[in-house]
Structure 1
């Protein structure tokens, strides 16, 4: 009696298909992680309150970039499977939110929520360096990594809703933190559109709905683009060599 071979479908793909080192992706991701970490360290070193610095969405999203990109760099260097798309896609969304909100809202004097006219947020010296690293370099680096160094078609529509749990949790954190802090405390509310003293709870809730819808549309856009974007192939992107067998 001949015993049939076990079903191949039950074996994880990464256990069957050999993985190859991707040094270019590893080095690029390590540089993005270093940029995020450098910006965070600068902000912490020039601030008189580490807790205040860590309360900003900008810092939290860049901490996530530093961790996820460092781990992704290690996996690419050691020929291990990539991190789950839910994690990498969420990191991409959050750092894109950081860059877009800063450049189009916080640094835009016509937005109504600009921080550029606030003496407390004057950007000079090392703060200017960290500002560019955290709001410009890391978002651009994350997008380039996604477009050039990752396989398309991995993001799913369900991811978009799950990703929004973090911005929602941050919104609740910002309001609770502001409510328990003494009025007049610097940066009691981390961003102008979350300032209850200025807009009231109804106004802040309205702002949150608008921003939340924008974030969801951005998440859907990332999923849609991921499905139609071409795969950039290079020597290190091949999962097996021509001489390795039928798998190419």
Structure 2
């Protein structure tokens, strides 16, 4: 039994990287230029840009596809199964949260519509497929999920602290000024629970794929041995 893409897996993986990298940097660049353009200064625009979970998560995805593509320092880190799975799970959260809660909150025009589609729809889909086909399996465990939870929790804490200081929150469901701390915390816990559930699904799929590939390798090994 031959594994999917086993004969030229590297070529197919490189193709995925070459497609995702320019899409990501283009969309991220469009979003940065837009926020700088509507801000009082480039620094204010940059800070606001880095205050959105969508941008931060897609920047992680951009590093995960760009560094291996050009064999840059840090590429091995972003090729770890637990890192790719964590980014993929966060991208799914980004996509679902935006499409279910935010799509009609932020009206977009022109090239912004394309950038929005890339960051919230296309890249999450492509990156999940990339994880399924090419990421090492068998390393995504409960410990990995727990470690990745520091990322959204850290973002939430930063958003509350910065929001209290400047009176601006990146998303309406964590707007303490309008909702109060109790409702904001409830909303955040709901999204965190969703993150855990999605990560658990990734873990089950990871284990399934790991067992399937191990069985396929064993079958091939037995067949070769008999020959």
TM-score, scaled to structure 1: 0.72
> Which of 29, 36, 45 is 2:17 aligned to?
29
Confirm or deny that 1:223 pairs with 2:195.
no
Cα distance between partner residues in 2 of 1:42 and 1:72: 23
CA displacement, residues 50-92 of structure 1 (integer Å, 9 cap, x when unaligned): 22122100000011000011123345xxxx8972222212111
Question: RMSD across aligned C-alpha pairs, in angstroms?
Answer: 2.6
1:58 aligns with 2:65: no
Cα distance in 2 for residues equivalent to 1:148 and 1:176: 39
Following superposition, the deviation at residue 226 of structure 1 comes to: 1.0
Number of residue equivalences = 198
Shift of 1:189: 0.5
TM superposition shift of 1:40: 0.6
Asked if the contact 1:61–1:91 (Cα under 8 Å) also holds between the matched residues in 2, the reply is: yes
Pick from 182, 187, 204 the counterpart of residue 184 of structure 2.
Answer: 204
User: Of 124, 146, 154, which aligns to 1:139?
Assistant: 124
Instruction: List, as ranges, runs of 4+ consecutive aligned residues in structure 1 with deviation greater than 4 Å.
Output: 230-233
Match of 1:113 in 2: none
Asked if 2 retains the 8 angstrom alpha-carbon contact of 1:148 and 1:232, the reply is: no
Q: 1:111-130, aligned counterparts within 5 Å?
A: 116=104, 118=105, 121-130=106-115
What residue ranges of structure 1 are gaps of 5+ in the alignment? 1-19, 108-115
Gap runs ≥5 in structure 2: 1-7, 38-44
Task: Report the Cα distance in structure 2 between the residues aligned to 1:44 and 1:81, rounded to whole angstroms.
Answer: 26
Taking structure 2 as the reference length, what is the TM-score of the superposition?
Answer: 0.79
Matched, 1:162 2:158: no
1:193 and 2:169 matched: no
Q: Which protein has the bigger helix share? A: 2
| Greater radius of gyration (CA) | 1
The DSSP-based 3-state class of the residue aligned with 2:79 is coil
In 2: Cα distance, 1:124 partner to 1:232 partner: 45
1:106-164 CA-to-partner distances (Å, cap 9, x unmatched) read 12xxxxxxxx1x4xx21110110110111011101101101223343332221111111
C-alpha deviation, 1:45, in angstroms:
1.5
